[in-house]
Structure formats: C-alpha cells, structure tokens
Amino acid sequence: MSEINAEQVAHLANLARIALTEEEIEHLTAELGQIMQAVEKVSEVATPDVPPTSHPIPMHNVFRDDVVGDNVLTVDQALAGAPESDGSRFVVSAILGEEQ
C-alpha cells in the first residue's frame, strides 16, 4: 500500500512554493494518505490489459494548421495584467539560484 509521510509532504510543498505550518503538514499528510488509498483502489482493477490513460476520451492527433492566428496580442495587451513592466517586458523580482 502506498503511504506518504510528513517529510514527503514538506518536500512537495517546497517544490510547489507553498508555505505550510507543522500543523498543516500533519493535517495534509493524513488527507493525502487517504487520497492515495483511493487511487490505490483503481490500481486493483487496472489489470495489465488496461493501458494507462492520460485522457478520458480516446482521441489522438488533434493538430492545428501552421498558420498565424488572430489572437496574437499587442505588447500593451500582453502586459495589461502584469503587476510591473518596463513598457515592453515583464518585471519580475530577482531570481536567486541559477538560470535554467
């Protein structure tokens, strides 16, 4: 049976950039454990002849033509929702760590 511990929850919270208190971690560890048990049930019926599914509808190859659309934004539209900009680019706070 899958289990999740407080350490893993804290790790996930860190990756997701969510600040959790000790109490919240404890609470979520229990809740996530229950969710994982529920998911576990699905595995019980998923025999090897059932392929993994990432989409509920069996469709594939939905492509679009390589043509520029009519929803290209102007720079003003693009920046309209930005908390801060220099008029052409988004301003974000200093990034600690390294460039990707």
Partner 1 sequence: MARAELMDYDQALELFEPVIGLEVHVELNTETKMFSPAPNPANSKFHGAEPNTLVTPVCLGLPGSLPVVNGDAVRSSISLGLALGCSIAPSSRFARKNYFYPDLAKNYQISQYDEPIAFEGSVEVELPNGRVFRVPIERAHMEEDAGKLTHVGGSTGRIQGAEYSLVDYNRAGVPLVEIVTKPIFGAEADAPELAKAYVSTIRDIAISLGISEARMERGNLRCDANVSLRPRGAEKLGTRTETKNVNSFRSIERAVRYEIQRQAAILAKGGTITQETRHWHEDTGTTSPGRPKSDADDYRYFPEPDLLPVEPSPELIEQLRAALPEPPAAHRRRLKAEWGFTDLEFQDVLNGGLLVEVAETVAAGASPAAARKWWTGELTRVANAKATDAASLATPQQVAELAALVEAGTLTDRLARQVLEGVAAGEGSPQQIVDARGLAVVSDDGALVAAIDEALASQPDVLAKIRDGKVQAAGAVIGAVMKAMQGKADAARVRELVLERAGNGG
DSSP conformational letter for 30? H
Q: Is residue 83 involved in binding partner 1 (CB under 8 A)?
A: no
By CB under 8 A, the residues from 43 to 72 that bind partner 1 are: 54-55, 59-69, 71-72
- Of the candidates 15, 19, 38, 42, which one interacts with partner 1 according to CB under 8 A? 15
Instruction: Tell me the HSE value of 56 on the side-chain side, using a 13 A CA sphere.
Output: 0
Q: Is residue 1 involved in binding partner 1 (CB under 8 A)?
A: no
Instruction: Indicate left, alpha or beta for 21 from its phi (over 0: left) and psi (-120 to 50: alpha).
Output: beta
* Closer residue to partner 1 (CB): 23 or 62: 62
Q: Two tokens at 59?
A: 């469709």
| Integer Rg of the chain from CA | 22
Residues near partner 1, by CB under 8 A: 11, 14-15, 17, 54-55, 59-69, 71-75, 78-79, 81, 86, 88-100
